[in-house]
Amino acid sequence: MEKKYLLLGIHNHQPVGNFEHVLEYAFENCYKPFIEVLKKYPKIKLNIHFSGWLLEWLERKHKDYLEEIATFVKEGKIEVFAGGFYEPILPIFPIEDRIFQIKKLKTKIKELFDVSPEGLWLAERVWEQELVKTLSLANINYLPLDDFHFELSGIDRKNLEGYYITEYEGYTVSVFPINKELRYMIPFDTQEKIIDYLKNDTRKFFTFFDDGEKFGLWPGTFKHVYENGWLDKFFTLISESEWLETVTFSEFFQKFKPSGKIYIPSSSYFEMLNWSLPSKVSKNDSKYLGNWRNFFLKYPESNLMHKKILYVRDKIKELLEKDEKVLDLYLKSQFNDVFWHGLFGGIYLPHLRKAVYESIILAEKAGFKEKNLDILDIDCDSFNEIVVSDEKLNLYIDPDYGGRIFELDFKEKNINVINTISRRYESYHEKLNDQEDLILDWYDRFSLIDHFFGCNTSLENFSKVRYEELGDFVNQPFEYEISNGKIIMLFRKGFVWFDGKLLNLELTKFIETIGNEVQVSYKILNTSEQKIHLWYGCEFNFSLLSDKNGRYVKTNDQITEPWKSVEVKTDSITIFDDEENLMISIIVDKQMKFWSFPIYTVSYSENGPEKIFQSLCIVPNIEFDLDSRENEA
């Protein structure tokens, strides 16, 4: 029988900010045992990729493990792949950043394994054709992509094998199609079925490259792969086969010519493109094909993080060219996991969002010169936002969406205290047996959100978004003016529903930062021709990593945990986060009701539905009457 070739590859990754116990568990149950099995089989050759942050952790905690891999690299048994150091989605960042990311990981690989990698693992296989130029300039010769990418170019997937040349502006790189059947079979089908597939298929060359976490971290896989001996038997059958040989990519690349030339449309793996569609569309397995960048539309919080990074980049561009530490902090903010969501946590994980803001705030602080106020379209929606920066705070205001505050950075702690996310419909919600915890928001849940409540509103029905909103101020545009270069005035001529009629109402808010304080004053003017009764509430959402463990709320000498809903009459409320050594107080100039309640999202993890605490919602609210042309300050 004619010899066949199998390129086996695994991609190992942990996101920046992941917990120490998670990393250690992954090492003991996945990364370490895989190599322990591999070293028993001298005929098996492996291609492997580690993201840079994980590689640095392994270097600190398990250097002997890396030394063992270095021995295999020297012997030609393992080929190490490069990538973006912090595993960014490469196409969404400037070409200079991409090259920095790739070269940083190549440098680390050279330091640890004494090789200069020629191959690259592309994060989430998010491809755009102009990446060819980036990869070529970074001295990358080849990379694996899903065969789905090739299929989108019109090639029958069943005919794909070997590698293909692709080009952009005269730059070239080679792409290997990852076999979908193998990606789904390994390590879940029987070893015999996989070997039979390879033997009976008419093709000669096969590529498998997939998440290493499938081998021990996915539910049930540690027992299946290691305790029950799946991987041992798989390697045994390959080793005993006279017709099947495992090779590294570099060996294959040197030995065989390309199978042809190809141009690939913007794409990722099929599931990713489906997840990027609007949830109501993706659940129907529709004919529509998504684009990874749709996540910036699907999750405004993702877009705001991404655009914050680019905004800071522009502010500290000169420093990035001079200071490696600042450059590293900037690059660290780009890790991909937090910008999207499929089946698993992603953007719904608060500690990952926190890691993005921490890195980019640190980078920004290094380049801070003096207090300034910027007016620019930071989120790229054609409407300007207002950014106030000083030594203590960053304050981001969106006049076009309710005059809200969507980011508030306490620079001393390197933390964005409005690092929140709204509760949105996801297609997998249809599978939930218990719908009680499933609450969906109709507006983006940030801060300084202006409500006018109906008479039957309560803490309970407001927290569950089952209340009556009488005003049109929550998500509608405000006009703005800047006074003395520091006082921001936001105003809206809107309406409120009262006594069966839509009545004119003007709302003006003045915002100023002083030290560690944000001072806000309001004026509400009744411009209708009749007296009206109003129930006004101002909504704040503050991010905490947990609803327990040293987080609590204090009002009138009463202490409450964040997971409880509370109504109290007071003129101040204080949130304590002992883990971050952080205290946030809201102080008003008169006694009023304060509501405090938790915001939870329901998403999926590897173990099924997961209820995640996202933020603490605080709503000071008050009722009053206004005669025609009368205002309340």
Positions annotated as catalytic residues are: 124, 211
Give the Cα separation of 292 and 276 in Å (integer): 6
Q: Give the DSSP per-residue string, 303-368.
A: HHHHHHHHHHHHHSHHHHTT-HHHHHHHHHTTBGGGG--SSS-GGG-HHHHHHHHHHHHHHHHHT-
Give the amino acid at 14.
Q
Asked if 244 contacts 200 with a C-beta cutoff of 8 angstroms, the reply is: no
The token pair that represents 231 in the structure block: 């991987």
Find, among 513, 354, 351, 383, the residue nearest to 18 by Cα: 351
Give the Cα separation of 90 and 121 in Å (integer): 11
Residue 371 Cα distances to 50, 352, 359, 366, 546, angstroms: 41, 29, 21, 14, 33
Residue whose token pair is 């991409």: 98
Asked if 405 contacts 386 with a C-beta cutoff of 8 angstroms, the reply is: no
CB neighbours (10 Å) of residue 188? 15
The token pair that represents 576 in the structure block: 């304590």
Helices in 191-284 by DSSP H: which ranges? 191-200, 221-222, 230-240, 249-255, 270-275, 279-282
Give the amino acid at 12.
N
Residue whose token pair is 């913007």: 266
Find, among 108, 19, 86, 544, the residue nearest to 309 by Cα: 86
Q: Provide CB contacts within 8 A for 552, sequence distance 6+.
A: 559, 560, 561, 562, 575, 576
